[in-house]
Amino acid sequence: METTVIQHVLSRLYKLGIKDVFGVPGDYAFPIEDAICSDNKMRWIGNCNELNAAYSADGYARIHGMAALSTTFGVGELSAINGIAGAYAEHLTIFHLVGMPAASVQAARRLVHHTLGNGEFDLFHNMTQSVVCARAIMTPENCVAETDRLITTALRERRPVYMGFPSDFANSPVINATQSLAKPQPSDPVVLKAAVTAITNAVSASKTACILPGILVSRCGLADKAAAVVETSNLPFATMFMDKCVLDETHPNYVGMYDGKLMDKEVTDFVEGCDCVLGIGCLLTDYNTGGFTMMVDRAKTINIMLNSTRVGSAQYNNIRMEDVLTELAQRLPRKDVPHPKARDLVGPTNQDPNGAITADYMYPRWRQMLRANDILVAETGTSSMGLAFARMPKGATFHNQTLWGSIGWATPAAFGIAMAAPDRRTILVTGEGSHQLTAQEVSQFYRFGLKPIIFVLNNDGYLIERLLCTDPEKYYNDLAKWNYAELPKALGCNDWFTARVTTCAELDEAIRAAETCGTGAYIEVVTARYEASPLSKKLQETVSTLYSA
């Protein structure tokens, strides 16, 4: 039987290790969904809506390295586009397969549903241009070459790609199926040697140096190589917010979280006092730099990015992070730099068990429950700002959408993460305001047999916004009042452990129950209105730096 356009694309994705496709079905996308569901090696994962599907694919890609998403024309792809933009910002590879009206319908400019009624069919495809690294409308003629180009670009850029499938083309046989596959562009050997020498010289010449491993290390699956650089050089390393858990936080060389001038002064003084700061894939964004309070002389810094490296003011292009790290792990000198040891979240010893739940109690209690290999998904807001300072156990990872910061991300992302790692514990901590955006996706955990532990922090409003706006009691930060603990049952999670806790003892007991119940768990944690993590309070003090240049 001849291979169709959609079959060819799915087979290429399968060879990359993609077996699961998130999405919402729609009529123009039937050929895509039919092909997935007819293929025993593939699995369709139907989400509640397309934005949630995109967030789930984002989460899946954080664990699995890449993900696939399918939506229908217009309504579906535009609903997902914020999730795609987030994946672009945060360097996650998502193959977005979009079902389109038949090419013949497009050519005839028919006024079909899911269009603007103006006979235009290229509009939505063009709207994605800024938020994908490559895109194509797949045809029988271009399918082999374009699939190849899109995959190569996605792996090079670690960002989403868009593949549009006119419904008639999707089921047409591929032409030119035997064409050879393009190879990814290798590093330029001359530039690579120069860059590695420059880095090695800078580190050798330094009295004190440290490493800042960044999120792009995770995105490229290069944690082992980055760890090898630490082992060879024996350099201490700190991490910024977005980069948390890129390397093992139990490592003796771990200094702790570096958050500009906002938090741990000892870490700040150490990092900013170094002669040489070796970044590996760091993004110097507002929330990664303590609201731009980071002060390191650019001349002293190095940053190894996906396809280029900067050493001081010198830029070295067309060299891949993987190759730079491989060389550095062999060539860096071994240093012995005195450095602080990473702290951890520790709770008060005199907590009243029957008292209200305080930030001082809650964050350390969450820290206490973490085990090796756990996956902690933290929503943007005060909760992630508290949890980021937990020192994570070996193999455990922390996930947050730090740059894009689209509230609502965490709940569906946690679902995607749990799908990608069903054998690890997935723990989701979200504020209730953010949870309201995407809460229905809780139903998918149960549907797919997953058993997350979900904490919904209910502080009666968008707390981080109350802290950052001019008048915290302005009513735009209020929310509809839900009975959160009743939600899982309504969403069909029939056997889950649920609880609503208002005291420290209740939280403690609920955590113990969640850890032993053998089902999914969902705990509403009620605190006073302004019970906030230390970093979020610090941000409140320095907020002006975020809003003016």
- Residues in binding site: 459, 461
Pairing verdict, β 426-431 and 375-378: parallel
Interatomic CA distance for residues 292 and 455, integer angstroms = 31
Determine, following the binding rule CB under 8 A, whether residue 404 of this chain makes contact with a second copy. yes
Binding-site entries for Mg(2+): 459, 461
Element (H, E) at 93: strand 93-100
Determine, following the binding rule CB under 8 A, whether residue 75 of this chain makes contact with a second copy. yes
Determine, following the binding rule CB under 8 A, whether residue 403 of this chain makes contact with a second copy. yes
Which of residues 10, 57, 63, 112 is near a second copy by CB under 8 A? 112
Least distance in angstroms from the C-beta of 60 to a second copy = 17
Determine, following the binding rule CB under 8 A, whether residue 487 of this chain makes contact with a second copy. yes
String of DSSP letters for 15-63: HTT--EEEE---GGGHHHHHHHHT-TT-EEEE-SSHHHHHHHHHHHHHH
Which of residues 11, 39, 44, 266 is near a second copy by CB under 8 A? 44
DSSP 264: -
3-state SS assignment for residue 242? helix
- List CB contacts of 181: < 8 A, sequence separation 6 or more: 148
Determine, following the binding rule CB under 8 A, whether residue 127 of this chain makes contact with a second copy. yes
Which of positions 284-343 make contact with a second copy (CB under 8 A)?
A: 284-287, 292
Determine, following the binding rule CB under 8 A, whether residue 82 of this chain makes contact with a second copy. yes
Interatomic CA distance for residues 411 and 83, integer angstroms = 13
Least distance in angstroms from the C-beta of 186 to a second copy = 25
Interatomic CA distance for residues 90 and 402, integer angstroms = 8
| Contacts with a second copy, 489-528, as mask; x by CB under 8 A | xxxx-x----------------------------------
Determine, following the binding rule CB under 8 A, whether residue 283 of this chain makes contact with a second copy. yes
Which of the ranges 10-18, 200-208, 479-487, 507-515 carries the binding residues for a second copy, by CB under 8 A?
Answer: 479-487
Which of the ranges 81-89, 302-310, 345-353, 362-370 carries the binding residues for a second copy, by CB under 8 A?
Answer: 81-89
Which of residues 281, 405, 412, 416 is near a second copy by CB under 8 A? 405
Residues in the chain: 549
Interatomic CA distance for residues 23 and 448, integer angstroms = 14
- The amino acid that residue 401 corresponds to is Q
Least distance in angstroms from the C-beta of 95 to a second copy = 17
Interatomic CA distance for residues 452 and 412, integer angstroms = 12
Determine, following the binding rule CB under 8 A, whether residue 19 of this chain makes contact with a second copy. no
DSSP 462: -
> Do the beta carbons of residue 211 and residue 237 sit within 8 Å?
yes
Determine, following the binding rule CB under 8 A, whether residue 482 of this chain makes contact with a second copy. yes
Which of positions 191-250 make contact with a second copy (CB under 8 A)?
A: none
Determine, following the binding rule CB under 8 A, whether residue 46 of this chain makes contact with a second copy. yes
Least distance in angstroms from the C-beta of 227 to a second copy = 25
Determine, following the binding rule CB under 8 A, whether residue 1 of this chain makes contact with a second copy. no
Determine, following the binding rule CB under 8 A, whether residue 437 of this chain makes contact with a second copy. yes
> Do the beta carbons of residue 244 and residue 400 sit within 8 Å?
yes
